[in-house]
Amino acid sequence: MKKFSLILLIANLSAVTFGQTLRLDLGTSYSKLDWKYMVYSGEQQYKSPKMGFAFSAGIEYLQKKYISITSDLSIYQTGGRYASDEQMNTYDIPSPDKISIEYVSIGSNLNFNPINDKIKLQLSFGPRLDYMIGGINKDPLKWVDKYDGINKLNWGLTAGIGLYYRLRKCDIGLQAQFINHMEKLADLKPVIGQSLLRAGADAKEQIFIMGASLGYKLR
pLDDT tens digit sequence for 177-196: 999 999 999 998 888 766 65
pLDDT in tens, 43-95: 677 888 899 999 999 999 888 889 999 999 999 999 988 766 655 555 556 67
In this structure, the number of other CB atoms found within 10 A of the CB of residue 164 comes to 23
CATH, domain range 2-217: 2.40.160.20
- Give the integer Cα–Cα distance in Å for 126 and 56: 15
Residues, the chain: 219
Query: What burial class does residue 208 get, using C-beta atoms within 10 Å of its C-beta: 0-12 exposed, 13-18 middle, 19+ buried?
Result: middle
Please give the span between the terminal C-alpha atoms of the chain, in angstroms, as a whole number: 35
Eight-class DSSP state of 3: H
* Average pLDDT of the chain, as a whole number: 84
pTM score, two decimals? 0.83
pLDDT at 15: 46
- Give the integer Cα–Cα distance in Å for 156 and 154: 7
State the pairing for strand pair 42-45/67-81.
unpaired
3-class secondary structure, 145: helix
8 A C-beta contact, residue 173 and residue 124: no
pLDDT in tens, 132-157: 999 899 888 998 998 899 999 999 99
* C-alpha 113: how far from chain center: 23
Q: What residues pair up with 119 in beta bridges, in sequence order?
A: 165
pLDDT at 40: 56
pLDDT in tens, 96-130: 788 999 999 999 999 999 999 899 999 999 999 99
Helices (H) and strands (E) in the chain, counts: 2, 12
pLDDT in tens, 3-47: 555 444 545 555 444 548 899 999 999 998 888 877 655 667 788
8 A C-beta contact, residue 199 and residue 91: yes
> Largest Cα–Cα distance of the chain, in whole Å?
72
Query: What burial class does residue 124 get, using C-beta atoms within 10 Å of its C-beta: 0-12 exposed, 13-18 middle, 19+ buried?
Result: buried
- Give the integer Cα–Cα distance in Å for 152 and 148: 10
